[in-house]
Amino acid sequence: MNHVRPILQTILAIVFAFLVAAIFILLHRSSPFEVYGALYQYGLGSWFSFSNTLNAAFPLILTGLSASIAFMSGVVNLGQHGQFLWGALVCAVLGVYLRLPSWLAVPLLAILGGLAGAAWAGLAAFFKRRYRMDEFISTLMLNFLAEYMTLYLATYPFLDPKAYVPATRLIRPEYFMTGVFGVNVAFFVAFFMVFLCWWFAWRTWQGYEARMMGYNKLFATVGGCDVESDTTLILLFSGFLSGLAGALLILNGTQHRFTKGIGANFGWDGVMIAIMANNGVFQTFFYALFMGFLKNGAVGMEFETSVPSEFVMFLQSIIVLTLVGTRSGIASLTDWLRAKRELGKLVK
């Protein structure tokens, strides 16, 4: 019962969200059946579409985990974007210059990218310990720094002079990660990280301290948790996940190089996914897939029904908003109904 109820709520919320969005589609004088048909066809309908959805989701899973792990511990890491960029840049640059057998280089590059993200988050941890600077503001500001610093590095010292946009050179082709039946290996790495995060949060004692810190920081402090170290650890871990997302995007994405704007919206999408997922690890995985599906399917929707792209983004927001709203709505509705029933028993 404990696990069934949230799942039912989520399903109900998604159905309701699509119904609400359907109203807007009708207002736009399109057919919801056509629009959702296209969404399905391009997002899930075939193995090809489905594998593309999985491939679109893997960076989102990792940035989502990065945000979830931080938020569940009460650490407000909003620096996913910057940590992602550093992971991507370090991986892209080393991928050009490093000469190692690929079985060694590929995992090494991924880990180094993750460490770069961790180091960038570590700056925020350092500011917090040393100067009591709130990580909420420091991680946010570090995003801007990362944006400009990585762009500078890609535009000048590491520029590929033959590229049409500011970009580093392609990494060595033998470092390109492959896929299994069209599903990128990076997806499986992300999937593994989901389990690692779950294991960390629910099986290790530092995970326990972190979660308690997230519930109630004063309680954890008084209970003897080493709140400072835990916060640092969480920031580093969270940064590692974002950095890993960036590195894997270079190794197993479509670009294989650092280009301007490569961070796209992965960082903020991760934050949004964490919020939708209530910071749950497996929920994060689910909602990242859901976002990947929307992203991937939305373009198809645009093609088949010729709705403008602004409308597609609008629909996405409607779905997300309704989803989050409905989930709490259902909870209070069931509460209200139970209260009514209880009163009914009382006054007959």
Partner 1 sequence: MLVEMIDICKVYPPNVVALKHVDFSLERGEIHALVGENGAGKSTLMKILSGLIRPSFGEIRVNGQRVQINSPVVAARLGIGMVHQELALVGSLRVYENVVLGSEPSRFGLLQPQKSSQMVKQLAERFGLNVDVDAITQELSVAGRQKVEILKQLYRNVDILILDEPTAALTPQESEELFDEMFKLRERGKTIVFVSHKLDEVLKISDRITVLRKGEKIATVKNDGSISAAQLAEMMVGKRIELVSIKARRPAGDPVLVVKDLSLVDRTSGKKLLDGVNLTVHAGEVVGIAGVEGNGQNELIEVLIGLRKPTSGSIKIMGEDVTNLDPRQRRAFIAYVPQDRKNVGLALKATIMENLIMTHHMNPPLRRKWLLDKSVAKDFASRLIKDFEIVCRGPFEKVQNLSGGNQQKVVVAREISLNRQLILLDQPTRGLDVASTQYLRDQVLMLRDSSKAVLLVSADLDELMDLSDRIYVMRSGRIVAELDPRTVDKTVVGYHMLGVSA
Partner 2 sequence: MKKFLFLVVLLLSTLLLAKPSRVAYVINGSLGDQSFYDSGYAGIKKLEEDFKVQTRVIECNFDPSLYYPSLVTAAQWADVIFVISYGFEEELKQVAMKFPNKIWVNIDTVVQDEKGIISSVDYREEEGAFLAGVVAAMVTTMTDLAGINPQKIIGAVGGDDDIVIRSFVYGYEQGAKYIDPEVQVKVIYVGTWDDPAKGKQAALQLYAEGADVVFQIAALTGFGVLQAAKEVGKYAIGVDSNQNPLVPGRVITSDLKEVGKSIYTVFKMILDGTFERGKVYSFGVKEGMVGLAIDEYTRKILPESVIEKIIDIQNKVASGEIKVEPYRP
Which positions lie near partner 1, rule CB under 8 A?
A: 2, 203-209, 211-212, 215-216, 218-226, 332, 334-336, 338-343, 346-347
Q: Which amino acid is at 287?
A: Y
Q: Taking Cα atoms as reference points, which of 93, 145, 141, 90 lies closest to residue 115?
A: 90
Q: What is the number of other CB atoms lying within 10 angstroms of the CB of residue 183?
A: 17
What H or E segment, with its residue span, contains residue 179? strand 179-180
Q: Considering the complex, what minimum distance in angstroms separates the CB of residue 283 from partner 2?
A: 22
Q: Which does 208 bind (CB under 5 to 8 A by kind): partner 1, partner 2, none?
A: partner 1
211 binds partner 2 (CB under 8 A): no
Distance CA 76, CA 111 (A): 24
Q: Which does 3 bind (CB under 5 to 8 A by kind): partner 1, partner 2, none?
A: none
Q: Considering the complex, what minimum distance in angstroms separates the CB of residue 326 from partner 2?
A: 27
Residue 88 per-residue DSSP state: H
**Near partner 2 in 161-200, by CB under 8 A:** 161-167, 170
Distance CA 285, CA 79 (A): 20
**Near partner 2 in 136-165, by CB under 8 A:** 151, 155, 161-165
113 binds partner 2 (CB under 8 A): no
Q: Considering the complex, what minimum distance in angstroms separates the CB of residue 196 from partner 1?
A: 13
- Look at strands 183-184 and 179-180 and give their pairing: antiparallel
CB nearer to partner 1: pick between 8 and 165: 8
Q: Considering the complex, what minimum distance in angstroms separates the CB of residue 175 from partner 2?
A: 14
257 binds partner 2 (CB under 8 A): yes
Integer angstrom CA distances of residue 77 from 91, 230, 291: 22, 14, 21
Distance CA 336, CA 300 (A): 41
Q: Considering the complex, what minimum distance in angstroms separates the CB of residue 156 from partner 2?
A: 9
**Near partner 2 in 264-303, by CB under 8 A:** 264-266, 295-296, 299-300, 302-303
Q: Considering the complex, what minimum distance in angstroms separates the CB of residue 16 from partner 1?
A: 20
304 binds partner 2 (CB under 8 A): yes
Contact 283, 193 (CB under 8 A): no
CB nearer to partner 2: pick between 79 and 297: 297
> Crossing angle, helix 266-276 and helix 281-305, to 10 degrees?
120
Show the tokens assigned to 149: 């610093």
